[in-house]
Amino acid sequence: MKFDSRENMKADNFTLEKYFDRVGYNGNASKDIVTLTDIMRCQLFSVPFENLDVQAGKIVSLVPEEIVEKIVMRKRGGYCYEVNGLFAMALQELGVPYIFVAARPMIYPVRRPKTHMALVVDVDGEEWLFDLGFGVHGIRKPMRLTVLDVEIKQDSDVFMLSKSNENRYLLKALSEGEWANQYEFDLSPQEWIDFVPANHLNSTHPDAIFVKKLLVVLHNPTGREILIGDTFKSVVNGKTTKQFISMENRASILASKFGLVAPPQ
């Protein structure tokens, strides 16, 4: 597949220096898969997946400069469009070809529209799935699209890419000993503006999970920490502990575990 060389994602206030400082990356600005994996993991381990703005009654901004200001300058997190959009800016500055893809979440009991956004990146002529914004069961490293029906261990998690038909890829995660479908996508390139309707739905629709409850996830080398509603979960090497968090203690958990301050309601 020939990737479009247009500038998909640019922001006047984005620089690699400020981005690397935000995500804690200290290596070279190379374009090989090892380097891009390191950068992905640095962002994944420092920028939370979070829906605090939605919970505050705001529609998430897709203006690139506002994403940079929110995540890089104010050290917030964001959901898929924001965190993957920010990573796309880094790819753009590095000169790495990529496309946005629209993915259909498969974690719900009924069929949903393609509201998730991920990246397919061309690295030395090979196509890789990059995704920094699928929350709880998101991949932790890039996945090569040509490696299908093979268990891929990433830290303590296990994933697999399959084909749901000739043109669609299906991402699965091993959860409690069983394979669980996460999302499917094809390689139809999407423009940034194509995600405006899905973003509005995720920010405002009463049935959207981001409207229904607070969801914050921050990955780390041994697992992840999750705040969903009034439950805090810590996943370490595949083992999960849970505790109830009262409204009075929510702000302290957001600050101490995720480095976040909730915006005013």
pLDDT tens, position by position, 44-103: 999 999 999 999 999 999 999 999 999 999 999 999 999 999 999 999 999 999 999 999
Burial class (CB in 10 A: 0-12, 13-18, 19+), 241: exposed
End-to-end CA distance of the chain: 45
**For the chain, what percent of residues have pLDDT higher than 90?**
88
Q: Mean pLDDT throughout 191-204?
A: 96
Does this model's pTM top 0.85? My answer is yes
Helix (H, G, I), strand (E, B) or coil at 159: strand
Q: What is the pLDDT of residue 123?
A: 96
- Tokens coding 150: 């093979």
| Res 5 pLDDT > 50 | no
Helix (H, G, I), strand (E, B) or coil at 181: strand
> How does the average pLDDT of the chain come out, rounded?
93
CA distances for 85 relative to 8, 79, 117, angstroms: 10, 10, 9
Domains and CATH numbers, the chain: 16-258 (3.30.2140.20)
From CA 237, how far away is CA 259, in angstroms rounded? 22
- The neighbouring-strand residues paired with 159 are 152, 173
Task: Tell me which amino acid residue 47 is.
Answer: V
Q: What is the pLDDT of residue 257?
A: 96
Least confident window among 2-16, 90-104, 247-261: 2-16
pLDDT tens, position by position, 215-239: 999 999 999 999 999 999 999 998 9
Q: What is the pLDDT of residue 109?
A: 80
